[in-house]
Each structure stands twice: as C-alpha cells, then as structure tokens.
Amino acid sequence: MAQEPGSVRHNESGLPVEPVYGPEALAGWDPERRLGAPGSYPYTRGIHPTMYAGRPWTMRQYAGFGTARESNARYRRLIAHGTTGLSVAFDLPTQMGHDSDTPIASGEVGKVGVAIDSVEDMRVLFGGIPLDKVSTSMTINAPAALLLLLYQLVGEEEGVPPGHLTGTVQNDILKEYIARGTYIFPPAPSLRLVSDVFQYCRTEIPRWNTISISGYHMAEAGASPAQEIAFTLANGIEYVRTALAAGMDVDGFAPRLSFFFVSRTTLLEEVAKFRAARRIWARVMREEFGARNPKSLMLRFHTQTAGVQLTAQQPEVNLARVTVQALAAVLGGTQSLHTNSFDEAIALPTDKAARLALRTQQVLAHETDVTATVDPFAGSYAVESMTDDVEEAALALMRRVEEMGGAVAAIEHGFQKEEIERNAYRIAQETDAGERIVVGVNRFLLDEEEPYEPLRVDPAIETQQVERLAQLRSRRDARAVTAALDTLRKTAESPDNVLPPMRDALRARATVGEVCDALRGVWGTYVPPAGV
C-alpha cells in the first residue's frame, strides 16, 4: 500500500510499521536469546550453519494436469531445464478420493491437477524418472496415505527400495477444515490416518517427510502473516499431540515434520514471518514437548509464491511480483521453493511460463549475492523489530486456540475460519477503496488488455481415464481386490495401522476411490456444522 505523508502504515498483519527504525527499537534486546547462531537454537537465523552458502534451496516446481502421461512429459521438461525436485498437483476427484468414472467427478478430471486412479496411473506419471535420485512432494491430504503407498509400489516395481525414497506428502488435514475443504473423513479418523503415516514411514520409508503442515492455503483464503503462522503451528501442535497419544516418541517422528508457507510481495514482513515461525516452533518443541534431538526443533519449510496475489490483468506484471516473493522466501531461509508462473491467474501454466518461473529461481541462486551469506537481515533494526512483532501477534492467536482446547476444538467453533474471513474482508475493502494498490487492477490500468492464449486441458481425457479404469477392472483379480478391501475395513474398525492393508489393496489393483469408499463405510464423511 502507498503511504501518505505523515500517515502511519500498517503491515499485512495489521501491525504498525515505523517510518524509521533505530537502536531504540532493540533496546534491552538479547541477541543470544532471540537470534543464536545459524544452525543453532532457536534457529531464527536458519536451520543450517551455512544455509545457501553451502548449497542452494531445492527448486521444486509444482506441476500436474490432464493425464499421467501429459504430466510426466512436463516433469521431464522441468528436470531438463534444471528443476531439482518434483511437486505433484492432483485433480479434485483424486484429492477427494473419487475415481474418474464416478458421476461426481464429471467435468473435473485432470482440470486442476493430474488424475490418478490406480497404481497403473502412478507408474505412467513417474515413468523414466529415477525415484532414488529425485525428491518428490505430493500435494494431497485426505487420501495422502494412498498416494504415498502408490509411490512406494511404483518404486518397488523399478527396483528402488522404500528406504531410498525421498520427498514429502502434504497429509495436513486440519487446514482442510479451516480453509480449503478437500476433506473426506471426520477429524478423529483423519488424525488417526496422519498418525498411521508417521508410524508407517518411520519403519518403511524412513527418509520421507510425513507431513507438510500448511499455512499456504490459509493465506490464499485471506489469512494475514501472523494468522498464517499461528494457525499452522497450532495445527502442528495438534499433530504432535496425536502422535504422542498413539505411543510414539517425540524424537522418533518430529525430525520428519515439515511446513509449507506462502511468500507475499511484502518482503520485509515475510522475512520476519519466516524467522518468527522458526523461533516459535523451536521453543514449543523443546519446552512443551521435551524434544532433545536438534532436528526435532528445526522448522523446515517449503515456500510457494502467492497465487492469490497474481492478476489476470496485465499478467506479465506477475513476473515482477513472483520475483519479489521468491526473494522474500530466500531471504527468509526456505528449504525449497516453487515460483508461480505469470499466467496462473488465467489458466494452467504454459510450458514457457513454467520455464520462466524456474528461471526466476535460477537467477536468484546464480546471479545475485543472496547465497553468499547467511541471514543478511540479522541485526536489522527494522526486520528484528518486525520479527518480534509478528511473533507476539502469532503467539496471542495461538493462546486463544489453546484456550478453546486446541486446534480441533477451535476448528469446531469456527474460530480460525472466522478470523481468516474477517481479514480477507478487510483486504477486499482496502482494495475496493483504492487504499491497497494492485498494479493493473485498481491503478495503472490499460485501456485494452493484450490477448493471451492460455493452456487448455482436452476434455477427452475424462473419457480416456474412464476407459483405463474399465480395462483395469477387467484385467485384475476381482476376488483378490474384494478380499483386500474386506481386510482394510476390518483393520479400520480396529486400532491397528491401516497402511499395510491399504498397500495390499492397491497392489491388488484396487482404485483410489474403492479404497476411500471402504474407509467411508467405516469412518463416515465429514459434514461441517451449520454456520461454519
């Protein structure tokens, strides 16, 4: 937002920003307690001693659309262009645990991500990609365990032992009840699934990051930076408590927890947000949960530039926005980064746009000096003050969540959702009034927008997916599938881990929808309370 002479400016979290910061801003400030050294508690300055001076962040470009074959071709091109990690987008039917041939999936197959119905689709998706050499992140939540198991099965077919697989599954169901809505089961069995993934991966896929606790989607729904980290860390606390209640040792699973945040164009506040989040998490893990392994205290996170800030008007301006957002993430110490394509406010990214997004990261990594030194803002009067302010605001919100009984209880009261919606309304009002300048939308407009040809998904892919499913069902051993699904239902009714029977069902060629339907029959589906 522009600042009028003599006015007090407020940041995205609603906190005042001083026109000038000096030594008085840090009077009585203890650098040892607030900062520490890079790679040391409380990790304000980053989780590694050398950060990018040792090696750059992982350039993990998010992609997926249409059929598995089309997405595989996009992945191969991204790898050829220099991406160092894959990130898979799934279509809505897959995210909701429905097969492509169900009536509810009609019109949505392959539209916002790739359609995956069975292990055969997963095999095509990663065909020719060495799973023991590429780290893969999968943005999937309610059926996260299924997609992880499909990935494991494809790895086994390629001769890659599960212990060699690396990557992340989002598996963050609580934020779905708050901001996104792709939930299937009620909270209690959903949390059980999360805990089962923790336990399964500890022994079966030990290098896998078992959850990516996400603030990104809350930010896309309108959460401020302080709300984003407060509600994300509160969800993280709930997951830790769930795992502890299941009998797990905190240092046995906490090192594999990871986080996922947005990066906006408000560069200084975003840097402060990332630094504050690291500090809060380290203290919570050490002081509340008694974690002793340093890796249990480290908040490791992936960042995506802010899709909600992209505009369909003058889309090339998004290149400038994404560059600033990416710089904020890097200066804030992210472990991996996805840069949005400039045309994503219009449609799925074209190949050229996706390549330019990757090139943006490569320019930051190889043509600037931001990788030369760790946490260059350390000791900055402005950034250290902002870090403290964001931390205090986030902690105040986290205390309110705790007073309600924790993240699940607060979700059931609609607290997080209402707070986020209130902030989103404030942003909309400021934009409509012109107080918040959005270049190309309410200021610096063109008389006529230039034409742009977006990427379009062929609607025929739905027919192709339906045909693939029919062929799969005709070839497989129907009795074996039925028996495997029966075993899964019995396990879901017991306290045993559901992933082994789930894996057996998928190996027998059960589909994603069939496995989810089996669990729906035992656990039911979540219906949000009226008014929430």
* SS3 letters across 84-126: CEEEEEECHHHHCCCCCCCHHHCCCCCCCCECCCCHHHHHHHC
**Three-class secondary structure of residue 4 per DSSP:** coil
Q: How confident is the model at residue 314, as a pLDDT?
A: 96
Q: Is residue 447 part of a domain?
A: no
Q: Which domain holds residue 374?
A: 9-56+159-414
Q: Is residue 523 part of a domain?
A: no
Per-residue pLDDT at 460 exceeds 80: yes
At 147-187, the pLDDT tens digits run 999 999 999 999 999 999 999 999 999 999 999 999 999 99
Please give the structure tokens belonging to residue 27: 């009077």
Q: Are 407 and 237 in contact (CB under 8 A)?
A: yes
Q: What is the DSSP string of 315-335?
A: GGGHHHHHHHHHHHHHHTT-S
Q: Is residue 487 part of a domain?
A: no
| Higher local confidence (pLDDT), 6 or 322 | 322
Q: Is residue 196 part of a domain?
A: yes
At 310-361, the pLDDT tens digits run 999 999 999 999 999 999 999 999 999 999 999 999 998 999 999 999 999 9
Which CATH number goes with the domain that contains 382? 3.20.20.240
Q: How confident is the model at residue 531, as a pLDDT?
A: 59
Q: How confident is the model at residue 458, as a pLDDT?
A: 86
Q: Is residue 508 part of a domain?
A: no
Q: Is residue 219 part of a domain?
A: yes
Which distant-in-sequence residues (6+ apart) come within 8 Å of 91 by Cβ?
64, 65, 108, 109, 110, 111, 112, 113, 114, 115
Alpha helical stretches, state H, 368-459: 381-403, 407-413, 415-432
Q: Is residue 110 part of a domain?
A: no
User: Global pTM?
Assistant: 0.95
Q: Is residue 457 part of a domain?
A: no
Q: How confident is the model at residue 453, as a pLDDT?
A: 85
At 406-444, the pLDDT tens digits run 999 999 999 999 999 999 999 999 999 999 999 999 999
What average pLDDT does the structure give for the chain? Answer: 95
Overall number of domains in the chain = 1
What is the C-alpha to C-alpha distance for residues 32 and 272, in angstroms, rounded to an integer? 17
